Amino acid sequence: MAVWALGINHTTAPVDLRGRFAFALDQVAPTLDALRQSFQGRMSRQPEAAILSTCNRTEIYCAGPEHALDPTIEWLARSGGVPPAVVRSHAYTLSDGGAARHAFRVASGLDSMVLGEAQILGQMKDAVRVAEQAGALGSTLNQLFQRSFAVAKEVRSATEIGAHSISMAAAAVRLAGQLFEDLGEIRVLFVGAGEMIELAATHFAARNPAGIAIANRTLERGEKLATRFGGEVMRLADLPARLHEFDAVVSSTASQLPIIGLGAVERAIKLRKHRPMFMVDLAVPRDIEPEVKALEDVYLYTVDDLAHVVQTGQAQRQAAVAQAEAIIDAGVQSFMHWVDQRGAVPLIQQLNAQTDEWRAAELARARKLLARGEDVDAVLEAMSRGLTQKMLHGALAELHAGDATARERASTAIQHFFLRKGR
């Protein structure tokens, strides 16, 4: 069984290109079906598949009878509406042990913008759950991901990989603190109500801002978050009219198009009499039109802009990284050993079927002899001799073969399987 992975992330592709390949969680199941259907006629059977899509990465993991990286690249290019050459220039492709190592490193937080961050593990588990529910996960990928979760757990418990990590949310608060003298005097608007917004709201709320508001498509989920942080809830439709009320805006939705446009921000700045606005766009694709960054009184940051902030303290983590990589190496070796063993399963099944057939034939013959009143010891002797002859027939035939090379090969195999000492 071959395993391969294809992906783009924050180190290989800019945010706008990543946005073309971003799949919301509720889109993943039909997308997986389309991906697997695209292999029709190109492989003997549909491959196993899973898609991990976050603001920092989109990755496809597959397992099938043979590697099919090129068809996977072509499918991803079509889904994003770009030429395959564009995908190839920004993607990384991995196979077998390399794919396993990458999955283990991603789950452990070693491949994240925030070294050691734990959020990716939950996102990976969500991706696996969706793939399983879609019927796209088989035994090979299931083993790959379950082992990746086990490795991630060991990395987090045995090392200090996350001890000095700075989350994207904490980085946003740090940047806001560089712009505003006192975060206790600002009003903060959070657009969306997902996990990232919840994390960002938690960090900002700890600084006791003057006001917090949650804007979301569904008021129910927005109200839940607003109640938790002592804020108000508002509809997305009201956002353009009220944008000027907020000093800081943090947005992270699953929208495929920007929801905060240049015109809305220009009007807000005018109403604010050009008091500065701090804006963080954590969404992929973007929630805030990129042209907003050019406005004189707006400080707009994307997930890529936060990279240098979250990498502080990296020197202290190098020892933990080396320790984590050793744990991952052991996990990769274990997984590849399992894959290699899986390759022998059909032969093992054939061997078991053949020995069962021999055993059944000798048992049937023995029962007939016993039914005729033959001596029990003689019947048992005949049965054991019959089984021995059947098992050794092929080996003895090879030893008597006319080909000297075949005889030598048979001799080595027989000594290895039948005459080895210390069993």
CB 22 within 8 A of CB 58: yes
Strand, coil or helix: 61: strand
Nearest Cα neighbor of 7 from 46, 65, 55, 61 is: 61
Dihedral of alpha carbons 348, 354, 357, 362, sign? negative
Q: Which residue has the tokens 């039909």?
A: 30
Beta strands in 142-286 (DSSP E): 187-191, 211-216, 232-235, 248-251, 277-281
H/E stretch holding 86 reads: helix 84-90
DSSP one-letter string for 132-148: HHTT---HHHHHHHHHH
* Residue count (the chain): 423
What token pair was written down for 202? Answer: 């938690």
55 carries an active-site annotation: yes
What token pair was written down for 394? Answer: 């092929």
For residue 285, say if its preceding peptide bond is cis, omega within 30 degrees of 0.
yes
Instruction: Determine which one of 8, 15, 35, 55 is catalytic.
Output: 55
CA 355 to chain centre: 42
In 10 A of CB 29, how many CB atoms? 16
What token pair was written down for 100? Answer: 């396993």
Active site residue ranges:
55
